[in-house]
Structure formats: C-alpha cells, structure tokens
Structure 1
C-alpha cells in the first residue's frame, strides 16, 4: 500500500507546484500567499510518504485530497484534478491493502512450505 500511496503523493507534489504557477497569474493573489499555501501542501505530500505506516497517515492524506479539491476555488482546473487524485488515493489504499494481504498470504505459505521441507529432511 505504501508504494501506491507514495506514488500518488509524489504525483500530487508536482501537480500542486504547477497549480501554484497557474495561481501566480491571478493578480488578486500575492506570490507569498500562493507559495506559502503551495509550499505547505507540497511539503505535506512529501512528508506523508514517510508517515503512511504511522497512525493517522492515511487520514492526513485524505485531508490533503480535500485541500486539492478545494483549491479549485482558486484554480478551477484543480476541481477535476483534485477529484482524479482523490480517486487515485482511494484506489491506492484499497488495492494496496489487497496486495499487502496477498503478499502476507504468500509469505506465510512459503514459510509453511520451508518448515515442511526442513522437517522432511
């Protein structure tokens, strides 16, 4: 799960940066405000890669997804992009857990076969 979720978060890092560049063209927004918000969101996306195995990491990822969708009020293209990444986030969690469960079953099966082979010799 961590690999899929981390891939999604790194993709978001770049999308947030590009959205910051688009937001800079809005004369009503100051550069400091744009890069303050984008910088925090980009930093959060990278830090979450390391926090996925810890308590609350997945939930913080959902907060980031909500923030991406909400950023569509400033950069309208972020509505569909945010929804796409929220879908990717869900898929990363859902299918990542299934992959982790399958890996655990295969590891348990391999260990049982190794023990059976060791006892037979």
Structure 2
C-alpha cells in the first residue's frame, strides 16, 4: 500500500513541478535553460522514481526529491504552499501506507496460522 500511495504522490508531483517550472520560467527567476531544463529533469526523476519504490532506497530517493522541491521554494516563495501540501501527502503516504502494510501482514499471518492446524 505504501508503494501505491507513494507512486500516486510522485506522479501528481511531477505534474505540479511541470507547472512550477513554467512559473519559474515566466517570472524569470532563472534563465530559460535552467528553469525549463531543470524542471524537465525533476519531472523525469519523479516519474523514474515510481518503479524504484520496490526497493528500500527508492523511498530515500523520494525524500531527496522532496528536498529539491523545497529548494524550489527559494526561487518562488509561493511554491511553498504547494510544497507543503505535497510533502504532507508524501509523509501521510509513508506513515499510513506502512501502517496498512503492517496490518495486512499481521492479518495474513493470523490467517495462515489458523489454516495450518486444520490441514494437519
């Protein structure tokens, strides 16, 4: 569940960072190659991280990308509102997703335990 929730957040963040790159370009906070190229690179990294979530280090990469998004807030302070929302969603997906995964594992273990004696 944590992987699914994190993938959804990263997917929507990639869309948000596309528009953020356009805002940074439009406000001339960075030169065009840096604003558009950096925004495109970040969007690609966000999307490329989704299949890497099956590995533990994929989540750490996701946290690193959250830090990059916070750094973008220094260029356009109004992006902080969007960053806070998405980082909140990321934290929620990490906490609640892990909790649901633990509950599902405990339920599966309990079911396996109750089925094992009846088969013997």
Q: Please, what TM-score do these two structures have when normalized by structure 1?
A: 0.88
Map of 1:67 onto structure 2: 68
Partner of 2:46: 45
Q: How much does 1:75 deviate?
A: 2.2
Q: 1:1-121 counterparts in 2 under 5 A?
A: 1-27=2-28, 29-119=30-120
User: Rg larger in 1 or in 2?
Assistant: 1
Q: Is the 8 A contact 1:69 1:81 kept in 2?
A: no
Q: CA RMSD in A?
A: 1.5
Unaligned runs of 5+ in 1: none
* Total equivalences in the alignment: 119
**Higher RCO structure, 1 or 2 (CA under 8 Å, sep 6+):** 2
For normalisation by structure 2, the TM-score amounts to 0.88
Residue ranges of structure 2 left out of the alignment (5+ in a row)? none
